[in-house]
């Protein structure tokens, strides 16, 4: 077993690495190096309950400070890793001596994609990735203010939902012709577009942004149609980019993410990579994936630790995600691209239904809205490659498990 494990990045996946090392009774040294001033924390509530002021910051943390103390973890917070030297097996950092390792776990996550227009540095214009970002957004979220959200992905729409419930006037601008186009099917996009419109959100689809205007503070947003939308606050959510520069500069394989095998090993046997920053093989879909999901971050952390501890373990999971908007909990399992049939179970009007995606009769993905049982059962059926009778699927009185057997 390695004597000294260094975790680069102190986000959600990193927190799980420490927890898993403890579970495996790892008795070597552990060091955690991260550029944020916080212990590892969960990001999903940042655009949901934490933004709404319904969850205190303490509840965001993966583990309390005492956990790291008891585990004897050497903490280097507020510390940027500037370079990785694979010859000497050490990291150069922004403050302090180089940090050396026997095994290194890269858990560097991702960063927000910047919008290439003028005015993004004006007061009142925000991106959303960290606790610090949300504290700044919350301070700007006064009732009656005019918010423009740029990007109708799940983070942009969650922000829109929280803001509407807080009494802000909300406009969402989206370049694509439907919302959440990267993660859900047109059927689900339609449902959410209607929901947001009913809640009073003004949605402008197929619309780009030309610029953000104001002197010191934001005043308006100019769209690609030339329209000027008044704005007191702007939140930009136009995707993320994986943090790969450190790995690439150190000569590791990088291809839209740090390339790892199904054991979370990079092209250097002493270095593992996990979470948002990885491009990893998925046996269920027969191709490599880069995922932005908590489940992937946690499961890859567990896989890397098992292998570091000498237990041969492969990662092969059905991807899953969730999004909370208003009283709608959307749970997505699997990847729907390439489906040739879609079946709706339940009643959209009753705010509880699921959309099942099939390819040649095989269940490949589900989008479940307030339908946790369909979500849980689908996950297993997708993993098993189950063939289902599409004609019987719509009958929500019969569970998916029963249909499969
Ligand atoms: P991160 O949590 O991003 O951690 C990486 C850490 O490494 C960061 O702290 C970063 O600053 C640090 N770092 C990077 N480079 C360096 C360096 N050179 N030196 C030192 N430190 C460095 N997923 C879901 O499944 N469901 C959701 O509902 C959901 N909601 C989300 C809402 C928001 C607002 C956001 C931002 C994300 C959401 N996600 C959600 C995605 C989920 O949070 C990520 O997939 C998860 O955080 C990935 O964990 P990670 O450890 O790989 O990366």
Is 129 a residue whose pLDDT tops 90? Answer: yes
End-to-end Cα distance, the chain: 44
Residues 6+ apart with CB under 8 A from 136: 126
Q: Which residue has the higher pLDDT, 391 or 265?
A: 265
Closest CA to 171 of 112, 123, 212, 230: 230
The response to whether residue 81 sits with its C-beta less than 6 Å from ligand 1 reads: yes
Is 177 a residue whose pLDDT tops 90? Answer: yes
**Separation of 400 CA from ligand 1 center, angstroms?**
33
The response to whether residue 242 sits with its C-beta less than 6 Å from ligand 1 reads: no
Instruction: Please tell me whether the overall predicted TM-score, pTM, comes out greater than 0.85 for this model.
Output: yes
**What are the tens digits of pLDDT across the range 362-381?**
999 999 999 999 999 999 99
Closest CA to 13 of 41, 38, 44: 41
Ligand 1 atom closest to residue 129's alpha carbon, by position in its atom list: 36
**Separation of 196 CA from ligand 1 center, angstroms?**
26
- Whether 280 contacts 299, CB under 8 Å: no
* For range 325-354, the mean pLDDT: 94
Burial-class residue 88 by CB neighbours within 10 Å (0-12, 13-18, 19+).
exposed
pLDDT of residue 402: 85
The response to whether residue 35 sits with its C-beta less than 6 Å from ligand 1 reads: yes
Beta strands in 197-261 (DSSP E): 202-204, 209-214, 218-223, 228-230, 233-236, 240-242, 258-259
**Model confidence band, residue 2 (pLDDT cutoffs 50, 70, 90):** low
**Separation of 1 CA from ligand 1 center, angstroms?**
28
* For ligand 1, atom 41: residue with the closest CA: 293
Closest CA to 185 of 345, 322, 367: 367
Residues 6+ apart with CB under 8 A from 89: 100, 101, 102, 104, 270
pLDDT of residue 331: 97
The response to whether residue 243 sits with its C-beta less than 6 Å from ligand 1 reads: yes
**Separation of 293 CA from ligand 1 center, angstroms?**
9
**What are the tens digits of pLDDT across the range 60-88?**
999 999 999 999 999 999 999 999 999 99
Mean pLDDT score of the chain: 96
**Separation of 276 CA from ligand 1 center, angstroms?**
7
* For range 43-47, the mean pLDDT: 98
* For ligand 1, atom 12: residue with the closest CA: 9
pLDDT of residue 242: 98
- CA 317 to CA 313: how far, in whole Å? 12
SS3 content of the chain, % helix, strand, coil (to 5): 25, 30, 40
**What are the tens digits of pLDDT across the range 134-143?**
999 999 999 9
Number of residues in the chain: 405
Is 1 a residue whose pLDDT tops 70? Answer: no
Burial-class residue 309 by CB neighbours within 10 Å (0-12, 13-18, 19+).
middle
**Separation of 40 CA from ligand 1 center, angstroms?**
10
Is 394 a residue whose pLDDT tops 90? Answer: no
The response to whether residue 10 sits with its C-beta less than 6 Å from ligand 1 reads: yes
The response to whether residue 322 sits with its C-beta less than 6 Å from ligand 1 reads: yes
pLDDT of residue 270: 97
- CA 320 to CA 97: how far, in whole Å? 40
**Separation of 154 CA from ligand 1 center, angstroms?**
15
**Separation of 12 CA from ligand 1 center, angstroms?**
6
* For ligand 1, atom 3: residue with the closest CA: 109
pLDDT of residue 388: 85
Weakest-pLDDT range from 139-143, 230-234, 262-266:
139-143
Q: Which residue has the higher pLDDT, 143 or 201?
A: 201
**Model confidence band, residue 360 (pLDDT cutoffs 50, 70, 90):** very high
pLDDT of residue 398: 86
What the block records as the tokens of 33 is 């190096």
* For range 150-179, the mean pLDDT: 98
Per-position DSSP letters for 60-91, written without gaps between them: GBSS-HHHHHHTT-EEE-S--EEEEETTTTEE
pLDDT of residue 89: 98
* For ligand 1, atom 52: residue with the closest CA: 275
Q: Percentage of residues in the chain with pLDDT exceeding 70?
A: 99
Is 278 a residue whose pLDDT tops 80? Answer: yes
Q: Percentage of residues in the chain with pLDDT exceeding 90?
A: 90
* For ligand 1, atom 22: residue with the closest CA: 9
**Separation of 115 CA from ligand 1 center, angstroms?**
19
Q: Which residue has the higher pLDDT, 251 or 392?
A: 251
- Whether 2 contacts 103, CB under 8 Å: yes
């Amino acid at each position: 077993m390695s004597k000294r494990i260094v975790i680069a990045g102190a986000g959600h996946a990193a927190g799980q690495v420490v927890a898993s090392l403890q579970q495996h009774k790892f008795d070597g040294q552990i060091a955690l190096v991260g550029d944020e001033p916080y212990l590892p924390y969960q990001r999903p509530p940042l655009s949901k309950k934490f933004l709404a002021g319904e969850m205190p910051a303490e509840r965001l943390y993966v583990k309390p400070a005492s956990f790291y103390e008891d585990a004897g973890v050497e903490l280097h917070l507020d510390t940027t890793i500037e370079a990785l030297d694979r010859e000497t097996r050490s990291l150069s950092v922004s403050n302090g001596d180089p940090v050396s390792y026997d095994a290194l776990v890269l858990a560097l996550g991702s960063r927000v994609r910047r919008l290439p227009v003028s005015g993004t540095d004006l007061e009142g214009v925000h991106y959303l990735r960290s606790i610090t970002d949300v504290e700044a957004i919350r301070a700007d979220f006064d009732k009656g203010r005019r918010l423009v959200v740029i990007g109708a992905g799940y983070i942009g729409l969650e922000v829109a939902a929280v803001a509407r419930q807080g009494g802000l006037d909300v406009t969402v601008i989206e370049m694509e012709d439907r919302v959440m186009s990267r993660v859900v099917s047109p059927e689900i996009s339609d449902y959410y577009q209607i929901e947001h419109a009913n809640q009073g959100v003004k949605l402008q689809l197929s619309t780009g942004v030309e610029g953000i205007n104001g002197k010191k503070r934001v005043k308006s947003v100019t769209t690609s149609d030339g329209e000027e939308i008044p704005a007191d606050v702007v939140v930009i959510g136009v995707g993320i980019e994986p943090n790969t520069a450190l790995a690439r500069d150190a000569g590791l394989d990088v291809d839209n993410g740090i390339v790892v095998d199904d054991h979370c090993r990079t092209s250097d046997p002493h270095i593992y990579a996990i979470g948002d920053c990885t491009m990893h093989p998925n046996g269920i879909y027969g191709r490599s994936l880069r995922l932005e999901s908590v489940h992937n971050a946690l499961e890859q952390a567990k896989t890397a630790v098992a292998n570091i501890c000498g237990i041969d373990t492969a990662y092969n999971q059905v991807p899953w995600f969730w999004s909370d908007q208003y009283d709608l909990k959307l749970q997505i399992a699997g990847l729907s691209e390439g489906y040739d049939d879609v079946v709706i179970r339940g009643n959209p009007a009753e705010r509880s239904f699921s959309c099942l995606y099939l390819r040649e009769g095989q269940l490949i993905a589900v989008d479940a809205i307030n339908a946790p049982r369909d979500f849980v059962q689908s996950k297993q059926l997708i993993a098993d490659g189950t063939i289902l009778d599409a004609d019987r699927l719509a009958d929500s009185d019969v569970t998916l498990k029963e249909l499969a057997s």
